[in-house]
Structure 1
Amino acid sequence: MTRQIFQLKVSLSDVTPTVWRRVLVPGGYTLDRLHRVFQYVMGWRDCHLHSFDVDGVQYGAPDPDGELVLRDELDARLDAVVGKGSRFRYTYDFGDWWEHDVIVEDAFSADPDERYPVCVDGEWACPPEDVGGPFGYRVFLAALADPGHPDHELMRSWNGDRAFDQARFDAGRATTLVRRLA
């Protein structure tokens, strides 16, 4: 039996220009494993809680305090909850509230000569972790771009005095990182 591969387009909501990735993942992946794929290809560091919303059903890691009503993502396979043409949401970091729109663009048989998962395309760098959500990211970019901005030095030092290139994204590097899951 040939494995089914899903082509997903993952787009970060409420940021301009839109940060997006196109990935090929096995349909048999659990949502937990898909979460890890998204972390690697988007550029997040998996420091925060997350959830999936598929047709109004919430999936995620079980909440030990019982405050969040989530179905266990370890029990949900991608191919069991979505199909070609489906749309769903992935939310990362309930403080910063990074929402990702996910579209299942295609589903096809695996190429026996290809290793999955793979990031085939994308644009723009992922915002830094803990920058404060879409609003904080806009402030961050404005401060870095303007040496006269009152928060310029603060944002530079907060970012470890590293340059932040908003236009930078390397699908090959993302694939190398995500293949550690395979």
Structure 2
Amino acid sequence: MELMGISPPIWREILVPARYSFWDLHVAVQDAMGWLDYHLHEFRFGESSRDEALLISIPSDDVWDDSPEVQPGWDIPVIEFLPESGDRAEYEYDFGDGWIHEITYLSVEPREKGQGYPKCVAGERACPPEDCGGVHGYQSLLGALFDPSHPEHESLSHWIPRGWGPELFKPEKVRFDNPLKRWEKAFTEEDM
């Protein structure tokens, strides 16, 4: 997967089980990129217009008459829409910031005995911090962080996560949550 609109690119290559649903893939993307899953997401297939594309995500009870239909990600196997090498999907995270990822199915790999999945096997560059304002906000953030004379340098330096740097990424450091536990936390636990 590659985060669109940023150069040099921010990307990840992950291995996921063939049985994964789109909910499971969403959790793996969040973990591999370093997002915190604070915002809504959606997988899109087909048309360039959201109104005409097939949407897979979390269906809402608050549907307007002109709202496109959203299919529940936990009910749909990834292999149903990404069956062949080279197939692609668009994944958007945080509709306010508008982080668009291009997901590309590369290949089927034999399962390694004793290896847990999903697994991040490659990637480059750190994920932008949550709520930094999308591609434009991220570029502004980097400009301020790398310019000690910038009026927001000091405050933004304290705002970003400790140890974060735009070039820092190690695939072996990625830890993946259990998608079922994430689903239960999101949809079955009552607010405290």
TM range (shorter): 0.7 to 0.9
Q: How does 1:154-169 map to 2 (within 5 A)?
A: 154-159=155-160, 162=162, 164-169=164-169
Q: 1:73 maps to what in 2?
A: 73
- Does the 8 A contact of 1:116 with 1:179 survive in 2? no
Q: 1:60 maps to what in 2?
A: 57
Instruction: Report Cα offsets for 1:94-116 as digits up to 9, x if no partner.
Output: 00000001111112443334321
Instruction: Report Cα offsets for 1:23-65 as digits up to 9, x if no partner.
Output: 0111211100100000000000000000001233110011121
1: CA distance between counterparts of 2:156 and 2:169? 21
Bigger shift: residues 127-136 or 164-173: 164-173
Q: How does 1:1-182 map to 2 (within 5 A)?
A: 10-55=1-46, 56-67=53-64, 68=67, 69-83=69-83, 84-159=85-160, 162=162, 164-174=164-174, 177-178=175-176, 180-181=178-179
1: CA distance between counterparts of 2:73 and 2:155? 38
2: CA distance between counterparts of 1:97 and 1:154? 24
Q: Amino acid of the residue matched to residue 169 of structure 2?
A: F
Unaligned runs of 5+ in 2: 47-52, 181-192
- Does the 8 A contact of 1:118 with 1:179 survive in 2? no
1: CA distance between counterparts of 2:74 and 2:37? 16
- Displacement of 1:164 after TM fit? 3.3
Instruction: Report Cα offsets for 1:90-140 as digits up to 9, x if no partner.
Output: 100000000001111112443334321110000000000000000000000
- Does the 8 A contact of 1:30 with 1:74 survive in 2? yes
Unaligned runs of 5+ in 1: 1-9
Which ranges of 4 or more aligned residues in structure 1 deviate by more than 4 Å? 179-182
- Displacement of 1:15 after TM fit? 1.1
- Does the 8 A contact of 1:19 with 1:122 survive in 2? yes
- Does the C-alpha gap of structure 1 residues 33 and 167 become closer, same or farther in structure 2, counting only changes over 3 Å? same
- Does the 8 A contact of 1:117 with 1:179 survive in 2? no
Q: Name the Cα RMSD after superposition.
A: 1.7
Q: How many residues align?
A: 170
Q: Amino acid of the residue matched to residue 132 of structure 1?
A: G
Q: Amino acid of the residue matched to residue 31 of structure 1?
A: F
Name the structure with the higher strand share.
1
TM-score, normalised with respect to structure 1: 0.87
1: CA distance between counterparts of 2:156 and 2:133? 12
* Identity among equivalent pairs (%): 35
- Does the 8 A contact of 1:20 with 1:122 survive in 2? yes
